[in-house]
Amino acid sequence: MDSDGASEILARLRDVLRESAVEEHDWDAVVAETPIESLGFDSLTILDVLYDVEEEFGIALDPKQVVKTRTIGEIIALLQQNGA
């Protein structure tokens, strides 16, 4: 993983989460190791976030790959694999 690229993606991801998520959270504290389940999404709010992430990065993610991810770092890796 390109660490500079990963850092930039993480920063953009935090911005998207800040804008999209309904739940209050300290988004600046989100790091690559942060488990996705700790972010408080439900089956609907996760869709809002995914839509906005795809729009931010201009890519389409495979939902089958998305549901396999467990941490923010794995999401970042998936975004990089898809050209982000």
Alpha helix ranges (H) inside 1-84: 3-20, 45-57, 63-66, 72-81
Scan residues 10-69 and list those touching another protein (CB under 8 A). 22, 36-37, 41-48, 50-52, 54-55, 60, 63-64, 66-67
Q: What does each C-alpha distance from 29 to 12, 56, 58, 83 come to in angstroms?
A: 14, 20, 25, 25
66 vs 77, which CB is nearer to another protein?
A: 66
**For residues 3 and 43, which CB has a smaller minimum distance to another protein in the complex?**
43
Q: Residue type at 58?
A: G
In whole angstroms, the minimum distance from the beta carbon of 3 to another protein comes to 27
Size of the residue set binding another protein (CB under 8 A): 21
CB of 32 to another protein, least distance (A): 19
Residue 83 is given by DSSP the state: T
